Amino acid sequence: MSSSLLEARRELSLANRIVANEGVIDAFGHVSMRHPDNPGRYLLSRSRAPELVAPEDFIEYDIESQPIRDPGVGQYSERVIHGEIYKARPDVNAVVPSHSPAVIPFGVTRVPMRPVMHTGSFLYVGVPVWEIREAGGATDMLVRNGTLGKSLAETLGDKPVVLMRGHGDVVVGPTVQRAVIRAVYTEVNARLQTIALGLGGPIEYISDEEGALRDKAGGDESRAWDLWKTKALGK
Amino acid sequence: MSSSLLEARRELSLANRIVANEGVIDAFGHVSMRHPDNPGRYLLSRSRAPELVAPEDFIEYDIESQPIRDPGVGQYSERVIHGEIYKARPDVNAVVPSHSPAVIPFGVTRVPMRPVMHTGSFLYVGVPVWEIREAGGATDMLVRNGTLGKSLAETLGDKPVVLMRGHGDVVVGPTVQRAVIRAVYTEVNARLQTIALGLGGPIEYISDEEGALRDKAGGDESRAWDLWKTKALGK
Amino acid sequence: MSSSLLEARRELSLANRIVANEGVIDAFGHVSMRHPDNPGRYLLSRSRAPELVAPEDFIEYDIESQPIRDPGVGQYSERVIHGEIYKARPDVNAVVPSHSPAVIPFGVTRVPMRPVMHTGSFLYVGVPVWEIREAGGATDMLVRNGTLGKSLAETLGDKPVVLMRGHGDVVVGPTVQRAVIRAVYTEVNARLQTIALGLGGPIEYISDEEGALRDKAGGDESRAWDLWKTKALGK
Amino acid sequence: MSSSLLEARRELSLANRIVANEGVIDAFGHVSMRHPDNPGRYLLSRSRAPELVAPEDFIEYDIESQPIRDPGVGQYSERVIHGEIYKARPDVNAVVPSHSPAVIPFGVTRVPMRPVMHTGSFLYVGVPVWEIREAGGATDMLVRNGTLGKSLAETLGDKPVVLMRGHGDVVVGPTVQRAVIRAVYTEVNARLQTIALGLGGPIEYISDEEGALRDKAGGDESRAWDLWKTKALGK
């Protein structure tokens, strides 16, 4: 195993624990990353709650979401979400589908998610809602096959976040750290937007121009990562 | 004691701790299971907060909620809830009455609980509200006798969940794990439905067809159970 | 020191920690009890956050809220709340003033607190709101003298709970355990009533008759106490 | 290093941990203090999440927010907030900018923050909202230069708190302890005001006269500080 792969497994395991510890993900979400040495593959845990995932739990998948080797363990039934997004989005190297709780109400109402604070400013490009019924009619609500996964990736388009109606959201990023930070602040922003809407009256959202400037400036991701790592491991 | 009974006691003790640790139950709920070797009996803890229940705390009851042996310890005054439901529902092997906090407001208003996310999709069949006054007039709000218990079981009908006005809810399942998972996601769904209703406008609930397909597909219960077990024991 | 006094100090110290651990009280509330051997005296901690209070922190006060002996340590400036209530209410043996968070909004609006669940049914007699301005004009909002304390006790009347506008509430009981349980469920009920009011429509509150029957029946207080004790000490 | 400086570093490190532990600050806020021996300087941590800050992390800055010595480590990009406020407000010796979550919705709506409880009574003087667009047009939302910092300090004026639209707030005080207590109760008050507004109807806020009397009386800060210290260090 290459040293970059070893390091990737450690970081991805930590990412799984962080999103759980920060309240974004429950027992049923996942965090994947594109393979560091082979962009046609990705790493995803065997079927296990993210909070319990360890470096040795990751399975290598090809872009069609087939395991490279027989894993001999349970696999996530919705792994096509990851494969289809990696296929459609060469710029994406990490994918986080979850049941992010504050986000779910925005997926079942017609209220659009918009950024109320600068840490959520990446949402300024808009947050599309994917309606699984339009892609597959009545289903058991899981993204179980490539057709559904492809449709979801199309609704995501070039955005950082897509909501899944009655299910949760998928957050993507160019790196694992960026995707995790986006996932956390998508949840935080949803919570605060809900409160602001409850207060009523016009809301001054982050403008497109502000969002674009914030995106361009980048952020000090390590500050959050170091804190969340300490907290996730200290539990 | 049979090995299945020993195993049942361990699992039921864990179930009690999990529902407490996941915020569904306070000091006053219970989790019971049908006796693994005798469908005419059930196991329920002596009078104790669920978070403190240990395998040796369980008392064997007959279907009329009388202890098989003098337990010599305090008993739950509302145990008829369990007995009457096991009597009316041969398909049910676990019963979880609780003060599930997010659920209580739905029991005192006329807003029906409906599933906003797929993990709560089993609610698609409807969530009846039991009005204790209709069964027993003015009471001290506790289900203290067979008449009240039978009325509650009738309102539950063939559903997975029934609300008790001004009190809480009762969640049932074919297994302890299924009942626990339903109890947790009934609470989560209530919380998210409340937020979605606050956002306003039409809500796209899980449809009957989607709910039925989800029920049929089943879920990966062990993923949640393993996580909740780790967290409940780690406390 | 009598053994009943030693035991009282231990229980009262635990009560202070429990109300803090259950989220009712912040750094600035208190829990007192009437002296077990002398009804004209009461026990209250020196000036210290309840979560840190130990058995040796209690000071003995006479009914005029003067310390029996020079305590040589800081005292709570609002101790007259306790003295005036013990004076006016021979049936009361424990007093819990706090900044119970979910309760405060009910003190500054005109929405009356009413019981939505049976564990809060003792509120059926009504929850008066004390307006400090009516008793003392503009103040610094603290109950610093006997005149204010007496006025507060008068507004409490024969009830279990009184709200203080812009400040918090005072919960009383015949025993320390009962007062603590009432303080916790006053907070819980306020939270759930707020949610129910947000859902809208008519609310089916606990009726007067149900409240009276519940009060008469009493509850299994030890079940909650044992749990909260374990959690408060385990921290 | 003078003993007052050593003590200042210890207290400031603790203040950083407390505001994080009490839920006011996430990975991206800071707490600074004016240099105890030189009012033209201030102490601020190197770029690090407040919950992780240690006494040795502090950098000395001059009033123009330039480090006295090359720190050789990362610095907060928004440190001008501190410098410009220390320049404009000789009475201020501690500054706490944060993403205080309950506060943010008040910065993006037109609902003014007002005190609903006496622990938030210092807000009676009004809570101005700073609109970064008026000072600098479209930005990346960060207070990156002296012009923005000066504008923010002007909007703060002689008040204890200023909101930053789409960002958070800045709380100041004559001492580190007072600033921390104000930061905590600004967050608590925002949460409770939001709930009170949701209940509807007229709200009886802390009056100007009450706020002034409360300010004059001062509070028992050590009671909160001792509790929060125990909790922050016990984690």
| Residue D106 to residue D152: CA distance in whole angstroms | 17
CA–CA separation, C29 and C32 (whole Å): 10
Strand partners, D138: none
State phi, psi for B169 to the nearest 5 degrees.
-145, 170
Beta strands in chain A (DSSP E): 32-34, 41-45, 58-62, 94-98, 129-130, 161-164, 168-173
* C-alpha distance from B38 to closest chain C C-alpha (Å): 29
Subunits that touch chain D (at least 3 Cβ pairs < 8 angstroms)?
Answer: A, C
SS3 track for chain C: CCHHHHHHHHHHHHHHHHHHHCCCCCCCCCCEEECCCCCCEEEEECCCCHHHCCHHHEEEEECCCCECCCCCCCCCCCCHHHHHHHHHCCCCCEEEEECCCCCHHHHHCCCCCCCCCHHHHHHHHCCCEECHHHHHCCCCCCCCCHHHHHHHHHHHCCCCEEEECCCEEEEEECCHHHHHHHHHHHHHHHHHHHHHHHHCCCCCCCCHHHHHHHHHHCCCHHHHHHHHHHHHHHC
Q: Which residue has the tokens 């092997």?
A: B93
Can you tell me the distance from the alpha carbon of B194 to that of B117, in angstroms, rounded to the nearest whole number?
Answer: 13
Q: How far is residue B102's CA from residue B108's CA, in Å, rounded to a whole number?
A: 12
User: Which residue in chain D has the smallest CA separation from C109?
Assistant: D203
| Cβ-defined contact of B117 to A74 (cutoff 8 Å) | no
CB distance B59 to B45 below 8 Å: yes
Q: Are B169 and B97 in contact (CB under 8 A)?
A: yes
Mean model confidence pLDDT for chain C: 96
Q: Does C191 touch chain D (CB under 8 A)?
A: no
- D218 and C CB contact within 8 Å: no
Q: Closest Cα of chain C to D184: distance in Å?
A: 11
Q: What is the rounded distance in angstroms from the CA atom of residue B36 to the CA atom of residue B18?
A: 20
Residues within 8 A of B (CB atoms), A 120-139 only: 131, 133, 138-139
The pLDDT score that the predictor gives to residue D235 is 56
Q: Map residue A115 onto helix, strand or coil.
A: coil
| pLDDT mean over A113-137 | 97
- Rounded to the nearest angstrom, the minimum Cα separation between B195 and chain A is 6
Find, among D106, D84, D70, D58, the residue nearest to D152 by Cα: D84
Taking residues C163-168, report their average pLDDT. 98
Q: Residue C88, class by beta-carbon neighbours within 10 Å (0-12 exposed, 13-18 middle, 19+ buried)? A: middle
Q: Do A166 and B226 touch (CB under 8 A)?
A: no
Q: How many CA atoms lie within 13 A of C17 on its CB side?
A: 21
Which of C110, C133, C168 minimises the CB distance to D202? C110
Whether the CB of C202 is below 8 Å from some CB of chain D: the reply is no
Mutate to test the interface with C, among D22, D116, D185, D221 (most CBs of C within 10 A): D116
Closest to B118 (Cβ–Cβ): which among A48, A102, A167?
A167
Q: Are strands C161-164 and C129-130 parallel, antiparallel or unpaired?
A: parallel
Quick check: B200 and A101 CB within 8 A? no
The C-alpha of D194 sits at a distance from chain A's nearest C-alpha, in angstroms, of 7
Residues in A closer than 8 angstroms to D26, CB to CB, are 224
SS3 category, A201: coil
D216 touches chain C (CB under 8 A): yes
Query: Which residue of the set D78, D131, D209, D221 is catalytic?
Result: D78
pLDDT at res. A169: 98
The predicted pLDDT at position D110 comes to 97
Beta bridge partners of A60: A43
What pLDDT score does B235 carry? 56
Active site residue D221: no
Residue D32 is predicted with a pLDDT of: 98
- CB-based contact B105 C199, cutoff 8 Å: yes
CA of B200: which chain A residue's CA is closest? Answer: A109
Between CA B23 and CA C34 the distance in angstroms is 34
Interchain CB contact of A27 with B (< 8 Å): yes
Residue D167: list chain A partners with CB under 8 A.
117-118
Q: Which residue has the tokens 């003790």?
A: B13
CA dihedral for C227, C228, C229, C235, sign (positive or negative): positive
What is the rounded CA–CA span in Å between residue C166 and residue D95? 27
Tens of each residue's pLDDT in chain D, 235 residues: 788 999 999 999 999 999 999 999 999 999 999 999 999 999 999 999 999 999 999 999 999 999 999 999 999 999 999 999 999 999 999 999 999 999 999 999 999 999 999 999 999 999 999 999 999 999 999 999 999 999 999 999 999 999 999 999 999 999 999 999 999 999 999 999 999 999 998 999 999 999 999 999 987 889 999 999 999 998 5
Length of chain D measured in residues = 235
Residue A218's pLDDT is what? 81
Neighbours of chain A (3+ CB pairs under 8 A): B, D
Hey, are the CB atoms on B210 and A111 less than 8 Å from each other? no
Q: How many Cβ atoms are within 10 Å of C191's Cβ, its own excluded? A: 20
| List of long-range contacts for D140-144, beta carbons under 8 Å, 24+ apart | D140/A118, D140/A210, D140/A213, D140/A214, D140/A216, D140/A217, D141/A118, D141/A121, D141/A206, D141/A210, D141/A213, D141/A214, D141/D166, D141/D167, D142/A118, D142/A217, D142/D77, D142/D78, D143/D78, D143/D80, D143/D81, D144/D77, D144/D78, D144/D80
Give tens-digit pLDDT for B44-103: 999 999 999 999 999 999 999 999 999 999 999 999 999 999 999 999 999 999 999 999
Query: Would the CB atoms of C104 and D214 count as touching at under 8 Å?
Result: no
The residue annotated as part of the active site, out of A78, A134, A154, A221, is: A78
Residue C37's CB: how many other CB atoms inside 10 A? Answer: 11
pLDDT at C219 over 80: no
Q: What share of chain B is helix, strand, coil (3-state, %, to 5)?
A: 45, 15, 40
- Percent of chain C scoring above 70 in pLDDT: 100
| pLDDT attached to residue A155 | 98
Q: Is the pTM of this model over 0.90?
A: yes
3-state secondary structure of A77: coil
Interchain proximity B220–A166, CB inside 8 Å: no
pLDDT at res. A235? 56
Say whether residue D110 is in contact with chain A using an 8 A CB cutoff: yes
**Quick one: three-class SS letters along B46-114?**
CCCCHHHCCHHHEEEEECCCCECCCCCCCCCCCCHHHHHHHHHCCCCCEEEEECCCCCHHHHHCCCCCC
State whether residue D41 sits within 8 Å of chain A by CB: no
Cα–Cα distance for residue pair D161/D147, rounded to 1 Å: 19
- Say whether residue D52 is in contact with chain A using an 8 A CB cutoff: yes
Would you tell me how many other CB atoms lie within 10 Å of the CB of residue B56?
9
- List the one residue out of A179, A174, A167 whose CA is nearest residue A225: A179
Burial of D91 (0-12, 13-18, 19+ CB in 10 A): exposed
pLDDT at D65: 98
Distance between CA atoms of residues A149 and A145, nearest Å: 6
Chain segment C121-147, per-residue pLDDT in tens: 999 999 999 999 999 999 999 999 999
pLDDT of residue A220: 81
Test D117 with C166 for CB contact under 8 angstroms.
Answer: yes
| Predicted pLDDT at A229 | 97
Band the pLDDT of B219: cuts 50, 70, 90.
confident
pLDDT of the residue at C221? 87
